[in-house]
Structure 1
Amino acid sequence: MDKQRETHSRVVAGVREFWWTESLWAAAESLSVVSVPIANIAEFDQNCWFGDTPPTCREVAEHARRIEAADLSHPVILNSSGGLMDGGHRVARAWLDGRTEVDAVQFDSDPAPDWRVPDVR
């Protein structure tokens, strides 16, 4: 399986901001790890992976594979507002394992995005 370079994005004031996942990991390296209730991670109950079209069985299976392989020794990364920036598969794995909390780091101030583009939605 070819591993594609992963990103996180969000829309702010009509502009989509993007971060390379590796940039987030580097920026979060010195942050303290805390335990966060999974119920507090809003994205766990949102469609963060499949966009506006229903997913195919193959797409669901690929995410299931990634959830199964998720390494819970790495904390998830939350933005300064508590939004998930990295770690959705780890959150899902923790929940499937019966956990109610997951290790996380949270930015006090979000790092600058790696790039921005106008949001076309």
Structure 2
Amino acid sequence: MKVPIENISFYESEYHRGDKIWNAQTLYDFAKAKEYPILDMPLWNIDLTAEPFECNQLHSFIFQCKRVRDCSLDYPIILDDVGQIADGYHRLCKALLEGKEAIKAIRLLEMPTPDRIENE
């Protein structure tokens, strides 16, 4: 018998900053509408001290490992308007594990309207 491992789709991915929340799709659509360029971002300058996802239990760790394994490097990561990764930590992990030197990235120069604000 196989142990089921949860899955999450791109359309369920969210970026939280303070009380503001953006869907990953919103960020990509905004970047496309603004025609922000896709650039190669060197991986040697990435701050690896971020805690982008909770992994304090084995099932959480396995879930995140599955997401890294299943993600595609064909899509750029998205940096927010202050340079933080808003979407793409799993792709970043995959690129590092595969020994890549750079990853495709889009840097937002401004943020779109949040999809929702917590406690509103």
Please report the TM-score for the alignment, with normalisation by the length of structure 1.
0.81
Hey, what does 1:9 align to over in structure 2?
A: 16
Task: Structure 2: state its 5+ residue gaps.
Answer: 1-5
Cα distance between partner residues in 2 of 1:109 and 1:95: 27
Query: Which residue type is aligned with residue 26 of structure 1?
Result: D
Hey, what does 1:88 align to over in structure 2?
A: 89
**TM-align CA RMSD:** 1.7
Query: Which residue type is aligned with residue 88 of structure 1?
Result: Y
Please report the TM-score for the alignment, with normalisation by the length of structure 2.
0.82
Contact 1:78–1:84 (Cα < 8 Å) also in 2: yes
**1:39-78 map, 5 Å:** 39-42=44-47, 44-50=48-54, 55-78=56-79
Cα distance between partner residues in 2 of 1:32 and 1:21: 17
Contact 2:7–2:63 (Cα < 8 Å) also in 1: no
Contact 1:9–1:17 (Cα < 8 Å) also in 2: yes
- The alpha-carbon distance between structure 1 residues 114 and 40, as it changes in their structure 2 partners (threshold 3 A), is farther
**1:101-120 map, 5 Å:** 101-117=102-118
CA shift, 1:40, in A, is: 3.4
Contact 1:18–1:113 (Cα < 8 Å) also in 2: yes
Task: Structure 1: state its 5+ residue gaps.
Answer: none
Query: Which residue type is aligned with residue 6 of structure 1?
Result: S
CA shift, 1:41, in A, is: 3.5
Number of equivalences: 110
Secondary structure at the counterpart of residue 25 of structure 1: helix
Cα distance between partner residues in 2 of 1:111 and 1:40: 26
- The alpha-carbon distance between structure 1 residues 39 and 17, as it changes in their structure 2 partners (threshold 3 A), is farther
CA shift, 1:2, in A, is: 5.1
Cα distance between partner residues in 1 of 2:101 and 2:113: 31
Contact 2:80–2:86 (Cα < 8 Å) also in 1: yes
Structure with more strand by fraction: 1
CA shift, 1:101, in A, is: 1.5
